[in-house]
C-alpha cells in the first residue's frame, strides 16, 4: 500500500526528539501556552519573516480570528475562491460576512485577479486568496487591487507553509495570514493546530486576547473571546518538524517534478508552476478526463488517491440558496476532472514510478 501521506516514516525520523520533548513537558506540567508554544511562535515568526505569530487551535480558528482582528463583520463581503476546503468560507460566515465566490485560473487553480476586480462592490471589505495545494496565488496583482480599493488582504495559507514569492513567505504579504497544522499538512501536528501571522501590533494583540477567552490578564476579560490555544504538546512536535520544513518541502517538490516528468506525454494535465513563487506541493493535483478509470486502477493496487475538491463551495447545499445563479465555469470544469496522487516528504522515487506506471497503463490501454 502507498498512502497519500506517509506519517509513520516521518515520525520514525523525529521519534527520539519528539518523545524527549513530550516527556519533559509532562514532567514540567506546563500544558497551556507554555514554553514550547512561546518558542514555536518565535521560531515561526523568524522563519516566515513576520513580526508576530500566534498559535491557535486550528486552521479554521486562525482564519476566523484573523477576520475578526482585521475588522470584518456583519454585512461585509469577502471575495474568495469556491475551489477550496469549506473552512475558508466557514470562517467568513462565522463573523457574519458574506463570501463572494469568483472563478479561478485554469492553470494554477488559484483565485483569478481579474475575477476579483469584477466582483468588488461598495460592500467589499476584504479579499481572501487561498494558496491552493501549496502554490502561491498571484499576490502582486491581488495586493495591488486591495491597495487600490482599500481592502483588507487575509491570506489562507493552510496549504502553503514554506511557499514563497520572490523570497517572501506566503502569509507575510497581506494584513494577516492563517495556517493549519492538520497532520497531513507540510508542517503537521499530531492533531489540530493553527497559526495566525501579522506585522500589526494591534491585530496581534487582538488575536492573543481572542484566543484566550478575551483576556490579557488572567480573570479579567475585555471582550467575548474563544478557547483557541495551540496545545503545548503539539508545539513540541511542530518545533521538531519546523527544523526540517525546508527538507520536507524540497522532497515534495522532487516527487512532484518526477511525477510530471514521467507523465508528460500522457493525455492529462500535470500541475503548472507559474514561476511567480515557490510551489511546495501540499497536494499533487492533476486533471484527467478519464479520472474515474484512473482512480479505480490506483485503488485496485492499494495506492492512495483522492479528489480535492469534488464539489465547489458555490454548489454545496449550505451555499446553494445564496449562490443561486452563480456560474464559475473554470472552477466547475476543474472540479469535474481533478484528482490528487500521494505526495509527502517520505515518498520514494520507486513509489512515484510505480504510481505513474499504473496511470500509464490505464491511459495507453
Closest CA to 270 of 204, 321, 341: 341
Supply the pLDDT for residue 335. 98
- Segment 237-248 mean pLDDT: 98
* CATH class as words, domain 245-363: alpha beta
Q: Give tens-digit pLDDT for 115-135.
A: 999 999 999 999 999 999 999
Euclidean distance between CA atoms 277 and 132, whole angstroms: 13
* CATH 3.40.640.10 assigned to 7-102+110-242: yes
Q: What is the pLDDT of residue 49?
A: 98
Question: What pLDDT is attached to residue 160?
Answer: 98
Query: What are the φ/ψ torsions at residue 31 (nearest 5 degrees)?
Result: -105, -25
pLDDT tens track for 92-120:
999 999 999 999 999 999 999 999 999 99
The model's pLDDT over 62-92, given as tens digits with 9 standing for 90+, comes to 999 999 999 999 999 999 999 999 999 999 9
Indicate the pLDDT class of residue 253, thresholds 50, 70 and 90: very high
Note the pLDDT of residue 363. Answer: 98
Query: Any idea where the domains of the chain sit in the sequence?
Result: 7-102+110-242, 245-363
- The dihedrals phi and psi of 231, each to the nearest 5 degrees, come to -75, 140
Burial of 3 (0-12, 13-18, 19+ CB in 10 A): middle
CA 22, 27, 28, 33 torsion-angle sign: positive
Q: Which three cell numbers stand for residue 310?
A: 469534488
Quote the cell numbers at residue 312: 465547489
Which H or E element spans position 245? helix 245-262
Residue 126: half-sphere exposure toward Cβ, Cα within 13 Å: 32
User: CA dihedral defined by 184, 185, 190, 194, rounded to 10 degrees?
Assistant: -140
Q: What is the pLDDT of residues 260-303, one digit of tens each?
A: 999 999 999 999 998 889 999 999 999 999 999 999 999 999 99
pLDDT value, residue 169: 98
pLDDT in tens, 300-337: 999 999 999 999 999 999 999 999 999 999 999 999 99
Give the pLDDT band (50/70/90) at residue 230: very high
C-alpha–C-alpha distance, residues 38 and 56, integer Å: 12
Amino acid at each position: 500500500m502507498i498512502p497519500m501521506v506517509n506519517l509513520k516514516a516521518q515520525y520514525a525520523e523525529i521519534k527520539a526528539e519528539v518523545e524527549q520533548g513530550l516527556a519533559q513537558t509532562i514532567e514540567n506540567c506546563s500544558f497551556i501556552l507554555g514554553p514550547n508554544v512561546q518558542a514555536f511562535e518565535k521560531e515561526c515568526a523568524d522563519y516566515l519573516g513576520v513580526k508576530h505569530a500566534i498559535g491557535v487551535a486550528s486552521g479554521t480558528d486562525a482564519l476566523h480570528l484573523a477576520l475578526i482582528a482585521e475588522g470584518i463583520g456583519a454585512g461585509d463581503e469577502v471575495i474568495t475562491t469556491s475551489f477550496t476546503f469549506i473552512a475558508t468560507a466557514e470562517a467568513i460566515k462565522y463573523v457574519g460576512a458574506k463570501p463572494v465566490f469568483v472563478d479561478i485560473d485554469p492553470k494554477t487553480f488559484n483565485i483569478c485577479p481579474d475575477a476579483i476586480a469584477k466582483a468588488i462592490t461598495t460592500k467589499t471589505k476584504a479579499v481572501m486568496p487561498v494558496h491552493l495545494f501549496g502554490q502561491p496565488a498571484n499576490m502582486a496583482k491581488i495586493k495591488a487591487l486591495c491597495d487600490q480599493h482599500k481592502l483588507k488582504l487575509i491570506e489562507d495559507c493552510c496549504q502553503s507553509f514554506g511557499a514563497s514569492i520572490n523570497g517572501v513567505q506566503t502569509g507575510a504579504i497581506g494584513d494577516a495570514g492563517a495556517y493549519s497544522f492538520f497532520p497531513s499538512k507540510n508542517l503537521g501536528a499530531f492533531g489540530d493546530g493553527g497559526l495566525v501571522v501579522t506585522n500589526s501590533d494591534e491585530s496581534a494583540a487582538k488575536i492573543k486576547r481572542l484566543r484566550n477567552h478575551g483576556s490579557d490578564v488572567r480573570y479579567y476579560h475585555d471582550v467575548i473571546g474563544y478557547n483557541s490555544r495551540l496545545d503545548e504538546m503539539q508545539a513540541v512536535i511542530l518545533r521538531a518538524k519546523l527544523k526540517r520544513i525546508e527538507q520536507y518541502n524540497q522532497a515534495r517538490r522532487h516527487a512532484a517534478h518526477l511525477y510530471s516528468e514521467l507523465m508528460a506525454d500522457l493525455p492529462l494535465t500535470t500541475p503548472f508552476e507559474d514561476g511567480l513563487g515557490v510551489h511546495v506541493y501540499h497536494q499533487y493535483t492533476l486533471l484527467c478526463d478519464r479520472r474515474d478509470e484512473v482512480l479505480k486502477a490506483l485503488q485496485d493496487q492499494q495506492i492512495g488517491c483522492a479528489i480535492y475538491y469534488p464539489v465547489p463551495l458555490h454548489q454545496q447545499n449550505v451555499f446553494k440558496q445564496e449562490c443561486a445563479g452563480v456560474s464559475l465555469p473554470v472552477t466547475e470544469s476543474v472540479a469535474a476532472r481533478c484528482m490528487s496522487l500521494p505526495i509527502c516528504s517520505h515518498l520514494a522515487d520507486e513509489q512515484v514510478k510505480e504510481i505513474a506506471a499504473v496511470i500509464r497503463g490505464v491511459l495507453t490501454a
